[in-house]
Amino acid sequence: MSQTATAGPLEALAQKVEARLTGRVTRVRALPDELAYEVQPEALLEVCTTVRDDAELRFEMLMDLAAVDYLDYRQDEWLTQESTRVGFSRGRLEVEEAIPPAPASGARFAVAYHLLSITHNRRLRLRVRCPDEQDPMVDSVVGVWASANWFEREAFDLFGILFRGHPDLRRILTDYGFVGHPFRKDFPLIGNVEVRYDPERRRVVYQPVSIEPRVLVPKVIRDDNRYNPALRDKPVPRA
């Protein structure tokens, strides 16, 4: 969908959001067909309740909640003229405007809320920073959207985000004895421990990881005639 086609409804929604939440949200740059706001941590519950209940907004559904780790954000190991959207690479575009901004406060951790208005068929993204890097914490929105329960547990498990007021904040994906939060950018790629079956004890045991550390190799885009569409799937001539 083109930017022209979406600018009208999107800006109309932006005006409604900003009129009802003056001073509590700040609009942040997003894709042309998306609308995103940064919320002050102390105003999170009030903002979420307003966007859910206001008749002009009615964001009844929390589609997803995701934590973000901005450690070393915008710090890359190399520049490239073009980068790929698939595969694994730490190369980036030279156009800085293409990179979304980190939270205005410079906080390392943030939480993003992806909202859907079933009534008005509109989407909205909110982002709140976690002021304390050592113990990142924000208010739980389980009381606003019940679907946040497992989402917040996942963010706690993988990123270590604490949600104040959550009814049952415990790990949901990793093992009970897991140490650390595996989606943090400073968590080692090889992990800290590994498991194996001990035939003498007849059970699974933990031990220090035995994998050797390695450096990821970037995906480099090269011209290769083998991938030329004109040379692929050509019919084989019959004798």
**Residues forming beta bridges with residue 179, ordered by sequence position:** none
Longest dimension (CA), the chain: 77
The Cα angle at residue 191 between residues 139 and 103, in degrees rounded to 5: 35
Q: Where are the domains of the chain?
A: 3-174
Average confidence (pLDDT) per 10 residues, the chain, 239 residues: 60 94 92 92 96 96 96 65 50 51 77 96 96 94 97 97 96 87 88 87 87 64 64 65
- As given in the structure block, the two tokens for residue 102 are 């980190």
Residue-level pLDDT at 219? 58
Which of the following CATH numbers is that of domain 3-174: 3.30.830.10, 3.40.250.10, 3.30.200.20, 3.30.460.80? 3.30.460.80
| 58: Cα separation from own chain's centroid | 23
Residue-level pLDDT at 89? 46
Q: Where are the alpha helices (DSSP H) in the chain?
A: 3-20, 44-53, 148-159
d(CA 108, CA 73): 9
Coil, helix or strand for 122? strand
d(CA 201, CA 204): 8
